[in-house]
Amino acid sequence: MKNSKRLDAVQSPIIPYIGELTRNNPGTISFGQGIAFYGPPTEAFSSVQKCLTDESINRYGPVEGIPELQQALTNKLKVINKIKIDSRNAVIVTAGSNMAFNTAILAITDPGDEVILPLPYYFNHEMSLVMERCNPRLVTCDENFHLDIEKIKSAICDKTKAIITISPNNPSGAVYTKQELLEINQLCKEHNIYHISDEAYEDFYYEQHRHFSAASQKNAQQHTISLFSFSKGYGFAGWRIGYMVIPEHLLPAIKKIQDTILISPPVISQHAAVGALSTDAEYLQDKRNAMSVKREMVLSKLNNLSCLKKKPTSEGAFYTLLNIDSKQDDMQLAQRLIEKHSVASIPGSAFGIEDGCYLRLSYGALADEKIDEGLDRIIDGLLL
C-alpha cells in the first residue's frame, strides 16, 4: 500500500522535525516556531464564559462564521484596515489563516495553474500549492527581501492565477511599502489574476514601517483576497481562528469548500474572538511595544557578528533571517546548534532559499532573558 503520489512532491513539515530534535535535547532554547509569548486577552475568556450555557456552541455554526463575529470583523476591517465590506466582497471565518490560504487556492485554481510566490516563501504556502497540484512560480526578492516588481511582472504568463504577498513577512521580517503592494495589486487587476495578501502579522511593525492592506484601495475588491489571523496579535494559536476577505463572486465556491472540509469554524473559538476584538487599541500596542524590545535585543546582539554576510534586519513580524558566511549545509548547521549548543532555529532551505546558508530566528515566543541566553548560544555555535 502506498500514499498519494501527489503528497510525495510536498516537502516534509520543518516545524515538527525541529520540534522533535528540540524535545530530544532537553534544555534547548527554541527560536523555531513563530508564536507569541502571551495568550488571549481576558475579554476573550469572559466572552467564552458567557456563552457556556448556550447550546449553540455544541452545534455546527454558519459556514461563514457566527453573526456576532461577522459584525465585529466588519467593524475592525473598516476602522483598522480601511476595508469596507459591502455587496462587492464578503468575510469568511476560517480555522486559522493557513486554512484560508488553502481554501483560496482551491477556489481559484485548477491543476497545472501557476501561482507567483516571492522568495523566501512561507513553507506552508508552497506546500499547499504543491498539494493542490499547482505550480509555484518562484521569484527572488531584492537583497533586503523586498519585492522585485519587474521580476514578478516578467513571471506572469497565461497559466498565472495569483500573486502572493506576505507583509509583514514570514520568514524575512520585511514590511512591504504601500507603493510595492499597490503595484502588485495593479498588476493583478491588469492581468485579471488575484492578489492574495497574507496579513497574519499586521499588528507587528517597527520604527518607520507601517502595515498596509491592498484591499483598502478603490476597485480592489474584485481581484484581492486578504487573509488574517487571530493567532499572532491576540495569542490565539491553539484556538484556530482566522478569516478572509474575498470578492463576492468567489462566495459560492468558498462556501462549498468550507462546508466540505470544515462544515463551520469552531463556534466557541469564535466567541473568544468576539471578546478579543472588544479590547481597546492599547492591548495590541502594548504587545507591539514588548515585541519591539525583543527585536532590539536580537538585532543589537547579532549586529557585529563576524560570520554574518549582512547585518540582520526585522522591519515587522517577529523574525530575522541570518545570512551566514558558511559552506555548511543549513540543515546540518541547524541540527548542530540544537545538539551541541542547545539552541533551535529554522534552516532557510525550508523557505525555498537555495543560494547560501540562512537560519530564521523567531523571537516572538521567548522571554527576554531566554532571548539573551539563546543568542549567546547561537553566537558560540556560529563562531566555532
pLDDT one-digit tens code per residue, 284-322: 999 999 999 999 999 999 998 999 999 999 999 999 999
pLDDT(347) > 80: yes
Identify the band that residue 6 occupies on the pLDDT scale cut at 50, 70 and 90: confident
**Structure letter (DSSP) for residue 158:** T
Residue with the larger pLDDT of the pair 320 and 11: 320
Average pLDDT, the chain: 96
Identify the band that residue 327 occupies on the pLDDT scale cut at 50, 70 and 90: confident
pLDDT(38) > 90: yes
Tens digit of each residue's pLDDT (9 = 90 or more) over 360-372: 999 999 999 999 9
> Coil, strand, or helix at residue 13?
coil
pLDDT(376) > 90: yes
pTM beyond 0.75: the answer is yes
The helix (H) or strand (E) run that includes residue 153 is helix 149-155
Q: What is the pLDDT of residue 1?
A: 77
> Coil, strand, or helix at residue 7?
helix
pLDDT(136) > 80: yes
CA distance 80 to 203: 10
Closest to 210 in 3D by CA, of 162, 169, 170, 177? 177
- Whole-number percent of the chain with pLDDT over 90: 94
CA angle 2, 131, 223 (to 5 degrees): 165
Q: In this predicted structure, which of 2-6, 40-44, 299-303 has the lowest mean pLDDT?
A: 2-6
The gap between the terminal CA atoms of the chain, to the nearest Å, is 46
Please give the biggest Cα pair distance in the chain: 61
Identify the band that residue 8 occupies on the pLDDT scale cut at 50, 70 and 90: confident
- For the chain, count helices (H), then strands (E): 13, 12
pLDDT(252) > 90: yes
Q: How far lies 166's CA from each of 8, 80, 181, 197, in Å?
A: 26, 18, 10, 6
Tens digit of each residue's pLDDT (9 = 90 or more) over 169-214: 999 999 999 999 999 999 999 999 999 999 999 999 999 999 999 9
Q: How far lies 221's CA from each of 78, 82, 114, 150, 258, in Å?
A: 14, 12, 22, 24, 21
Tens digit of each residue's pLDDT (9 = 90 or more) over 75-119: 999 999 999 999 999 999 999 999 999 999 999 999 999 999 999
| Average pLDDT over every residue of 7-34 | 93
Q: What is the pLDDT of residue 209?
A: 97
| Average pLDDT over every residue of 212-229 | 96
Reading the block at residue 213, the C-alpha cell is 492592506
Question: 68 exposed, middle or buried (CB, 10 Å; 0-12, 13-18, 19+)?
Answer: middle
The count of other CB atoms within 10 Å of the CB of residue 247 is: 20
Q: What is the 3-state secondary structure (H, E, C) of 39-57?
A: CCCHHHHHHHHHHCCCHHH
The domains found in the chain, sorted by start residue, are 5-40+281-382 (3.90.1150.10), 42-277 (3.40.640.10)
